[in-house]
Amino acid sequence: MPYQTFRLTEDTTYPWTIVCILPNAKHYTVARFYNRRDAEDHKRVLHRFMPASEFEIIFDHPVTQ
């Protein structure tokens, strides 16, 4: 059975990103969305279940070369 290779690249079709703000100026990408409204709705649900955590929505536009 041949091995499959997986590329771990960020999906540029989903530029709206929810990140969890961690101590020491670190962050963790929680989810990516196609539009801002979906990201805001998901952030609201996350805040309801994890009220002590801090989440931010960012627009992660890909850099073209």
Which residues, including other chains, have CB under 8 Å from residue 39's CB and lie 6 or more apart? Answer: 16, 17, 18, 31, 33, 57
Q: Which stretches of the chain score pLDDT less than 50?
A: 1, 5-8
Write down the pLDDT at residue 20. Answer: 96
Domain boundaries defined on the chain: 16-59
Residue 44, CA distances (Å) to 5, 23, 27, 38 in order: 36, 21, 18, 10
pTM for the structure as a whole: 0.75
Write down the pLDDT at residue 38. Answer: 97
- Whole-angstrom Cα distance, residue 39 to residue 32? 7
